[in-house]
Amino acid sequence: MLHEFIVAHRSEILHRTRARVALRTAPHPTNEELEAGIPYFLDELVEMLRNRERTSSVIDEGATRHGSNRFAVGFTLAQVVHDYGDVCQVVTEMAMEEGAAVGIEEFRDLNRCLDDAIAGAVTEHSRAAQSEIAERNTERLGILAHELRNHLSTAFFAFQILKDGTVSIGGSTGMVLGRSLTALRDLVDRSMAEVRLDVGLYDPHRIEISDFVKEMELAGVMASRDAGVSLSTEFGDAGVMIDGDRQLLGSAVTNLLHNAFKFTPRNGHVAMRTSSTPQRVLIEIEDECGGLSDEVSGGLFKAFHQVGADRSGMGLGLLISTRAVESMQGNLRAHNRPGSGCVFTIDLPRLAAVVT
């Protein structure tokens, strides 16, 4: 019986399957997939073959459970499909090598199990993914509406007070109105960047980094004053170029600056530095937040993750910034300095100088 052959040769089948999966270039294998996923696939296959004479609902139930479980632990749809195929390919090859007494009908059962399992797992995996997307979109829209309402309400009340003429536009009420309008602008900019990333709207062109950073400094100085912190800027060498989307890069830098201002204590300092090598361009933003705990650091780039006493914001800024930078073939990383602060680095490929 084929399922008995698999049980008897389980260790060797796992060894060969892991070796095959490890050589795969796409989708790239993960440690979770190699150490836990492959044994799960194999044991599931044995159970399917053992129950092949029972109704197909047994296979459907196992595949559905598998698709849901694999999605829950982060497996992609491609991993689900390829791992089923790799396991079955190794089983078939070993059965042929060993001259196992496996009939044609059992190989047909194996193929039927594979087809049914893939179909069931893919269906459930897709359903789970779509369900999560729908839930996240609902949550995102709800939080966005809540933020918009809060900022608009604050701006409206400040405007009404100023309209009555009892206070000056240059006083505290005027500052409240200004902060509310700035927050609304940033919220809209961030939402526009997210929409552009979602639909793949990307407009690459040559960007001279020192000029770009000077633009960021102009807006950054005003925001730092509102936050009660100072900002210093190093523009880097003139003529250093990258190929990128100016709006998306601006959204990423602006978000990092605002986070730095938000979590740096009043009278503290934020630094924005630019440097380059022949191959890379770095934009660093260093704050004085005091450093992050391991727990906070682990979720820093996840959606809806917020830190600090100030819980305002959707918790999407760093995620959107990461996506924006990655769309330009770069990466965004954070260096935690316990007791001091954090350094966020945008790392982008540098364009070669044009020879005239």
Q: Give 29-50 pLDDT, tens digit per residue.
A: 666 656 766 777 777 777 777 7
Q: What percent of the chain has pLDDT over 90?
A: 19
What average pLDDT does range 74-95 have in this prediction?
Answer: 72
DSSP 56-95: THHHHHHHHHHHHHHHHTT--HHHHHHHHHHHHHHHHHHH
Cα 218 to chain centroid distance, Å, stands at: 29
What average pLDDT does range 81-92 have in this prediction?
Answer: 76
Q: Comparing C-alpha atoms, which of 124, 240, 151, 248 is closest to residue 198?
A: 248
The one-letter code for the residue type at 356 is T
SS (H, E, C) 224-292: HHHHCCEEEEECCCCCCEEEECHHHHHHHHHHHHHHHHHHCCCCCEEEEEEEECCCEEEEEEECCCCCC
Q: Are strands 241-244 and 230-234 parallel, antiparallel or unpaired?
A: unpaired
What average pLDDT does range 102-131 have in this prediction?
Answer: 67
The whole-number pLDDT of residue 171 equals: 78
Q: Comparing C-alpha atoms, which of 299, 301, 352, 304 is closest to residue 331?
A: 301
Q: What predicted TM-score, i.e. pTM, was given to this entire model? A: 0.52
Structural tokens at position 40: 């799960």
pLDDT(11) > 50? yes
The whole-number pLDDT of residue 117 equals: 63
pLDDT(62) > 60? no
The whole-number pLDDT of residue 130 equals: 67
Mean predicted lDDT score pLDDT of the chain: 76
Contact residues for 46 (Cβ-Cβ < 8 A; gap 6+): 3, 6, 7
The whole-number pLDDT of residue 307 equals: 47
Angle in degrees, CA 267, 285, 186, rounded to 5 = 80
Instruction: Establish whether the linkage from the previous residue to 39 is cis, with ω within 30° of 0.
Output: no
Task: Give the pLDDT confidence of 167-202 residue by residue, as tens digits.
Answer: 778 777 787 777 778 778 777 777 777 777 776 667
The whole-number pLDDT of residue 308 equals: 46
Q: Are strands 280-286 and 241-244 parallel, antiparallel or unpaired?
A: unpaired
The whole-number pLDDT of residue 115 equals: 66
pLDDT band, residue 75 (cuts 50/70/90)? low
Selected residue with higher pLDDT from 117 and 154: 154
Task: Give the pLDDT confidence of 280-313 residue by residue, as tens digits.
Answer: 999 999 999 998 876 666 556 554 444 444 434 4
Q: 250: left (phi > 0), else alpha (psi -120 to 50), else beta? A: alpha
Q: What percent of the chain has pLDDT over 70?
A: 66
What average pLDDT does range 1-30 have in this prediction?
Answer: 77
Structural tokens at position 186: 């940033």
Looking at the DSSP assignment, which residues form a beta bridge with residue 270?
231
pLDDT(27) > 60? no
The whole-number pLDDT of residue 196 equals: 72
pLDDT(64) > 80? no
pLDDT(260) > 80? yes
Task: Give the pLDDT confidence of 207-238 residue by residue, as tens digits.
Answer: 999 999 998 888 788 788 888 899 999 999 99
Distance CA 194, CA 317 (A): 9
The whole-number pLDDT of residue 114 equals: 67
pLDDT(267) > 80? yes
pLDDT(330) > 50? yes
What average pLDDT does range 248-270 have in this prediction?
Answer: 90
Give the three-state DSSP class for 347.
Answer: strand
The whole-number pLDDT of residue 164 equals: 79
Distance CA 2, CA 8 (A): 10
Q: 336: left (phi > 0), else alpha (psi -120 to 50), else beta? A: beta
